[in-house]
C-alpha cells in the first residue's frame, strides 16, 4: 500500500476530510467518539501525519526553536553544564505533549539567529540566557512568539520565565553569614547586563553590606561557567585567598571548585565552605555533597513551553500575533547538604 492520506482516513471512517483533520490536529470540540473513531482508523491504516504538507497548508511547522548561549567560540555548553540538559529535557517533553518538536541551537551572541527562525518557519522560540538587544534585531515581537528564560532584558511583547536572582544571591550569602562566615568569595560567569550572574552578585553584595562585611576585590572572581574553568581558577587564585567560604553562581562551577580544593589538600568544608546555585543532580554526587540554592529546573522548562503554547493557541483561535509579555517568577530554596560548615567568627 502507498502512503496513506487523510482522504483515506476520511473514506475509512465515513467522515469529512475537515472533521478528520480537526481530530488529528486536536482542533474544535469534537465528540470523543468521533476522535476515537479517527484514531482507530489511523491505527488500522497506518496513517502518518505529514508535517511538511501541514506546514504548507496552515503556515505552521509545529517546530519550536530553543537557543542556548555559547560562552566562547567552539564551546559545547549544552554538554558541559547539566543545567542545559535538564531544562532541554523538560522543554522537549512538554513541547511533545503539546504536539510540537524542538530544534536546539547553540548560538553566539552576535549571530542573527532569527534569520534561521524565519527560514525554518518556526512557530515560536525559547531563548535561554542573556543576549544583547542586537541579537533580537530583525524580529518584531508580533512576528513570532518568543519566551525568554533567565533573562532580565526588557523586551516589549516577549514573555519571561525566571527567578528572583538577586534574592537567590542574597539567600546564599545570608546562609553563609548565618554560619559564621565573614570572608566570603564570589565566583560567577561574566556579569553582563540582563544576565543572572550580575543579579546574583547584586544579592551577594546586598547581604554583605547589610551585615557590615567588607568585600575585597580579589574575592570576586569570574570564569567561564564550567567544571574545568572553575578548577583552573581555584588552582590559580582561590587557594591563596584569605576566605572561609565561596558562593558559586552555578553548581557545575561549585563542583569544580570542590574537586580542585580536594586535590590541593584544602578541606571542604573545614577549610573552605562551598555554596552552589541550581540544585543539579550532580550536587548529590560530589564529595562532600553540595549545599546549594535550589530551583525547579523541570518546572522552568515546563512554564516556558506553556507560555509559548498559550500564545500559539491564542494566535490560532483569535488571530492574535502580539504577545501579552507575561512573566513567571519561580521560587527558590536553600538545599542543605555537606559542603558548608558553621564556624566561630
Burial track 208-246 (b if 16+ CB lie within 10 A, e otherwise): beeeeeebeeebebebbbbbebbbebbeeebeebebbbb
Strand partners, 125: 65, 146
pLDDT at 94 over 90: yes
On the question of a common fold for 6-49 and 165-294, the answer reads no
Strands (DSSP E) along the chain, which ranges?
63-69, 101-107, 124-128, 146-149, 159-163, 184-188, 220-222, 245-248, 273-278, 291-294, 327-330, 333-335
Q: What is the pLDDT of residue 207?
A: 98
- Average pLDDT for 44-53: 69
**Confidence bin at 178 (pLDDT 50/70/90):** very high
pLDDT of residue 344: 79
Share of residues in the chain with pLDDT > 70 (%):
81
Choice among 139-153, 179-193, 291-305 with the minimum mean pLDDT: 139-153
pLDDT band per the 50, 70, 90 thresholds, residue 59:
low
What is the structure's pLDDT at 76? 56
Number of Cβ within 10 Å of residue 267's Cβ equals 12
Q: Considering only CA atoms, which of 249, 255, 299 is closest in space to residue 278?
A: 249
Place of cell 540566557: 129
Instruction: Give the pLDDT score at 109.
Output: 45
**CA atoms 27, 30, 33, 34: torsion sign:** negative
Residue 342: pLDDT above 80?
yes
- Determine the 3-state secondary structure of 197 from DSSP: helix
Q: Where are the beta strands (DSSP E) in 10-100?
A: 63-69
The per-residue pLDDT for 153 is 80
Give 174 or 43, the one with higher predicted confidence.
Answer: 174
Q: Which residues make beta-bridge pairs with 127? A: 67, 148
Rounded CA gap, 253 and 230, in Å? 5
Mean predicted confidence (pLDDT) in 79-105: 90
Q: Tell me if 183 sits within 8 A of 244, measured CB to CB.
A: yes
Average pLDDT score, the chain: 85
Higher pLDDT, 305 or 123: 305
Instruction: Out of 153-157, 236-240, 243-247, 319-323, pick the least confident.
Output: 319-323
pLDDT for position 110: 47
Of the candidate CATH numbers 1.10.3720.10, 1.10.260.40, 1.20.140.10, 2.60.40.420, the domain formed by 6-49 belongs to: 1.10.260.40
The residues spanned by each domain of the chain are 6-49, 63-163+298-330, 165-294
pLDDT reading at 111 higher than 60: no
Q: What pLDDT, in 10s, does the model give residues 205-239?
A: 999 999 999 999 999 999 999 999 999 999 999 88
Q: Find the farthest-apart pair of alpha carbons in the chain and give their distance in angstroms, rounded.
A: 81
Rounded to whole angstroms, what are the CA distances from 12 to 1, 8, 9, 34? 15, 6, 5, 13
Superfamily of domain 63-163+298-330: Response regulator (3.40.50.2300)
CB neighbour burial string for 297-336, b if at least 16 within 10 angstroms, e if fewer: beebbbbbbebbbbbbebbeeeeeeebebeebeeebebbe
Architecture of the CATH domain 165-294: 3-Layer(aba) Sandwich (3.40)
Q: How confident is the model at residue 6 (pLDDT cuts 50, 70, 90)?
A: confident
Question: What are the grid coordinates assigned to 129, written together?
Answer: 540566557
Amino acid at each position: 500500500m502507498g502512503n496513506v492520506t487523510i482522504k483515506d482516513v476520511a473514506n475509512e471512517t465515513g467522515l469529512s476530510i475537515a472533521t478528520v483533520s480537526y481530530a488529528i490536529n486536536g482542533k474544535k470540540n469534537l465528540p470523543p467518539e468521533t476522535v476515537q473513531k479517527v484514531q482507530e482508523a489511523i491505527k488500522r491504516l497506518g496513517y502518518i501525519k505529514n508535517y511538511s504538507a501541514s506546514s504548507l497548508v496552515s503556515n505552521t511547522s509545529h517546530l519550536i526553536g530553543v537557543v542556548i548561549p555559547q560562552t566562547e567560540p567552539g564551546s559545547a555548553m549544552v554538554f558541559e553544564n547539566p543545567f542545559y540538559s535538564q531544562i532541554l529535557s523538560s522543554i522537549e517533553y512538554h513541547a511533545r505533549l503539546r504536539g510540537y518538536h524542538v530544534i536546539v541551537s547553540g548560538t553566539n551572541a552576535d549571530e542573527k539567529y532569527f534569520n534561521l527562525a524565519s527560514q525554518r518557519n518556526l512557530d515560536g522560540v525559547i531563548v535561554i540566557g542573556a543576549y544583547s538587544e542586537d541579537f533580537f534585531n530583525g524580529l518584531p515581537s508580533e512576528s513570532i512568539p518568543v519566551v525568554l528564560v533567565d533573562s532580565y532584558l526588557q523586551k516589549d511583547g516577549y514573555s519571561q520565565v525566571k527567578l528572583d536572582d538577586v534574592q537567590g544571591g542574597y539567600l546564599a550569602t545570608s546562609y553563609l553569614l548565618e554560619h559564621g562566615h565573614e570572608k566570603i568569595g564570589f565566583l560567577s560567569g561574566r556579569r553582563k547586563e540582563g544576565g543572572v550572574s550580575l543579579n546574583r552578585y547584586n544579592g551577594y553584595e546586598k547581604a554583605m553590606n547589610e551585615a557590615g562585611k567588607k568585600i575585597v576585590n580579589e574575592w570576586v572572581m569570574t570564569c567561564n561557567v564550567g567544571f574545568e574553568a572553575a578548577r583552573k581558577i581555584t588552582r590559580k587564585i582561590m587557594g591563596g585567598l584569605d576566605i572561609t567560604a565561596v558562593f558559586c553562581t552555578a553548581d557545575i562551577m561549585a563542583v569544580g571548585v570542590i574537586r580542585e580544593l580536594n586535590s590541593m589538600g584544602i578541606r571542604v568544608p573545614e577549610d573552605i565552605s562551598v555554596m552552589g546555585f541550581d540544585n543539579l543532580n550532580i550536587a548529590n554526587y560530589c564529595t562532600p555533597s553540595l549545599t546549594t540554592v535550589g530551583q525547579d529546573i523541570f518546572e522552568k522548562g515546563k512554564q516556558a513551553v506553556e507560555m509559548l503554547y498559550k500564545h500559539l493557541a491564542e494566535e490560532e483561535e483569535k488571530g492574535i500575533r502580539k504577545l501579552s509579555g507575561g512573566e513567571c517568577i519561580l521560587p527558590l530554596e536553600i538545599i542543605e547538604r555537606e559542603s558548608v560548615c558553621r564556624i566561630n567568627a
